[in-house]
Amino acid sequence: MLDFSEMMLQERQLLSSESSELAGKLRVIAGEQGVSASPVDRLATCRDYWPMGSLWFLEGKAPALPDLVVWPADTAQVAAVLALAGEHGVPVTPYGEGSGALGGAIPLRGGIVLDLKRMNQVRELDGENLMVTVECGLNGALYEEHLNRRGFTGGHIPQSIRCSTVGGWLACRAAGQFSSRYGKIEDMVVALEAVLPDGTVFSGRRVPRTATGPRLDHLFIGSEGALGVITAATLRIWPCPEERSLLSFAFAGLEEGLEAARLIIRAGARPAVVRLYDYAETGHHFPEVKEAGGRCMLILLIEGDRRLAAAETQMAREAALAHGGVDTGCGPVEHWLERRFNISLASKLFRQGAVVDTIEVSSTWTGAAPLYRAMQEAMLAVEGTALASGHYSHVYPEGAALYMTLCGFPPGEKADYYKRIWSAAMETCLSLGGAISHHHGIGLHRGLWMEQEHGGAGLEALRRVKQALDPGAIMNPGKLGLEEALEWRK
């Protein structure tokens, strides 16, 4: 039924006798309903939302199949599965909701896909101390819903909130749309519970801060399944904001908008949302705002305590006006709030044969505008590119995240084009001192530039950490640039 030759990245598979023996042992751990060798379940977990997965899907191909899918019900089952996999030397790929954008959840070497979605309980909500402890497989929107119903917010609203898990956020060092106020996911971690590849379970302490040596649990933030499994997390929460104010300003160019944003943050204001669009995206997202024609739109959403929000609103307005921003009111922000989860255009474009993707990087304020220009130029220079536009999506006192969107109709092989345009973007980013990822992570694909990002010594140190924790190399092999993926090279 499933043709191995159509699996574009598959490096290995178990023999069917090995698979059935292993399945029997796994059923003892996770129960009858907790293990599947069905082609239907294996095919369903062969990919994530990495665009190559969609492109291959359209051609009737798939990245790589696991041999078995396992749904652990609790941390003890995760530990037992990892210990068993270690004994058999079988790879394990943790799987959340498969919204990852870089192929991180593809089981390149077959083995076990560990689908964590049945671990979805909220263990404890501690309103007094503003912490919540949840299991890793909880869906993001349901996490936020649980908090909202009780008067809190998690402050983490990625565009994928409806289709990603809390564990996936942590594993990828994700960023929500409101991160300029609440921080990226790594800023929200109080403590993690994780299972090491040999089945050892450990938990960080649920205390505000520690000076007790390096925090092993924090090592798992951004570990993308390569060091073990994050089974639960204690995260910071906030009381639901009392006040919200929406502002937008149109600037003559990106530089002016960036300068306004920089000064707002520098002065200590923390708008939750700060997004600055280039000319093309301003035209695309806000065609009805006349004053924004031929300008760059900055949208700001400020929320929190009434008094603080009022002060921040005033600070933001002053900075924006001082840099030539034309006040375009709350309408554009309302429009963004309404449309921010609508990604239907991507599906339509894929169906029509386009290659579509997003590339998020980060840089200091000094480098922010040059990085945008250079990346756009490099990407447009790749034959077949129809569009390379961008916006700054998150800001910090030291700099900003740049989010580029690309769309191409390549003349030849799509995979070739895909690698070419990514190379253009990544090499440019590296040469200008940007970080190759701000929040989507490394996964499979971006591993190709991991050594350039960290330097040989940096990556080698990370490999040693991996070797120490996972000597059998069972955890999500071929990812994070720690090892070469045989079928996906530059």
Partner 1 sequence: MAEVNRKRLLECALCPNMCRCECPVAQAAGREAVAPSGKARLAHLLLEGRLPWSEAALEALSACLGCRGCTLLCPFPELALDDELLAARRNAAAAGICLPAAAPFDHNLKKYGSPYGSRGGPAAAKYGDGEVLYFTGCTAAANHPAAAGAALALFEQAGVSYQTIDEYCCGYPAETWGGETLARQLAAENRARIAKSGARRLVTGCPECRYTFTRRYTEWGAALPLPVVDSAGFFLELVREGRLKPRALEGAGPVTYHDPCLAARLEEKWEEPRILLGFIPGLSLAEAACAKRSTRCCGGGRMLQLTFPALSEAIAKRRLAEFPAGAAVVTACPFCRENLAAGGGAVLDLAELLARACL
Nearest distance from C-beta of residue 392 to ligand FAD, angstroms: 14
Q: What is the CA radius of gyration of the chain?
A: 23
| Two tokens, residue 480 | 């994070």
Nearest distance from C-beta of residue 256 to ligand FAD, angstroms: 26
Count interface residues toward ligand FAD (CB under 6 A): 38
Nearest distance from C-beta of residue 379 to partner 1, angstroms: 22
Sequence-ordered strand ranges (E) for 221-268: 229-236, 238-239, 243-251
Contacts with 230 (C-beta within 8 Å, 6 or more apart), sequence order: 136, 167, 170, 171, 192, 193, 194, 220, 223
Per-position x/- string for 340-379, each x denoting binding to partner 1 as judged by CB under 8 A, each - no binding: -xxxx-xxx-xx----------------------------
Q: In what order do the strands lie in the sheet with 296-304?
A: 326-327, 243-251, 296-304, 273-277, 385-396, 399-408, 355-364
Residue from 160, 234, 248, 313 touching ligand FAD (CB under 6 A): that is 160
Examine residue 99 and tell whether it contacts partner 1 (CB under 8 A). Answer: yes
CB atoms closer than 10 angstroms to residue 18: 14
Task: Scan residues 303-342 and list those touching partner 1 (CB under 8 A).
Answer: 341-342
Amino acid residing at 415: A
Residue 60's binding partner among ligand FAD, partner 1, none (Cβ under 5 to 8 angstroms by kind) is partner 1
Examine residue 391 and tell whether it contacts ligand FAD (CB under 6 A). Answer: no
Burial (Cβ within 10 Å: 0-12, 13-18, ≥19) of residue 460: exposed
| Two tokens, residue 307 | 């008094």
Examine residue 229 and tell whether it contacts ligand FAD (CB under 6 A). Answer: yes
DSSP per residue over 434-464, as a string? -BS-SSS--TTGGGGGHHHHHHHHHHHHHHH
Residue from 7, 8, 26, 174 touching ligand FAD (CB under 6 A): that is 174
Count interface residues toward partner 1 (CB under 8 A): 45
Examine residue 299 and tell whether it contacts partner 1 (CB under 8 A). Answer: no
Residue with Cβ nearer ligand FAD (328 or 437): 437
SS3 338: helix
SS3 277: strand
Burial (Cβ within 10 Å: 0-12, 13-18, ≥19) of residue 421: buried
Nearest distance from C-beta of residue 479 to partner 1, angstroms: 19
SS3 407: strand
Residue from 236, 323, 391, 439 touching ligand FAD (CB under 6 A): that is 439
Examine residue 115 and tell whether it contacts ligand FAD (CB under 6 A). Answer: no
Residue 162's binding partner among partner 1, ligand FAD, none (Cβ under 5 to 8 angstroms by kind) is partner 1
Residue with Cβ nearer ligand FAD (308 or 337): 337
Examine residue 298 and tell whether it contacts ligand FAD (CB under 6 A). Answer: no
Examine residue 382 and tell whether it contacts ligand FAD (CB under 6 A). Answer: no
Examine residue 172 and tell whether it contacts ligand FAD (CB under 6 A). Answer: yes
Contacts with 97 (C-beta within 8 Å, 6 or more apart), sequence order: 117, 139, 163, 164, 165, 168
φ/ψ of 343, rounded to 5, equals -120, 30
Could you tell me which residues are beta bridge partners of residue 92? Answer: 112, 475
Look at residues 193, 317, 323, 304 and name the one whose alpha carbon lies nearest to residue 239.
304
Residue from 54, 120, 121, 159 touching ligand FAD (CB under 6 A): that is 159
Residue 136's binding partner among partner 1, ligand FAD, none (Cβ under 5 to 8 angstroms by kind) is ligand FAD
Which residues make up the interface to partner 1 (CB under 8 A)? 1-2, 33, 38-41, 43-45, 49, 54, 57-58, 60, 69, 71, 95, 97-99, 115, 117-118, 120, 137, 139-142, 145, 149, 160-163, 341-344, 346-348, 350-351
Contact residues toward ligand FAD (CB under 6 A) are 48-49, 93-101, 104-105, 116, 136, 158-160, 164-165, 167-169, 171-172, 174-175, 224-225, 229-230, 343, 439-441, 443, 476, 479
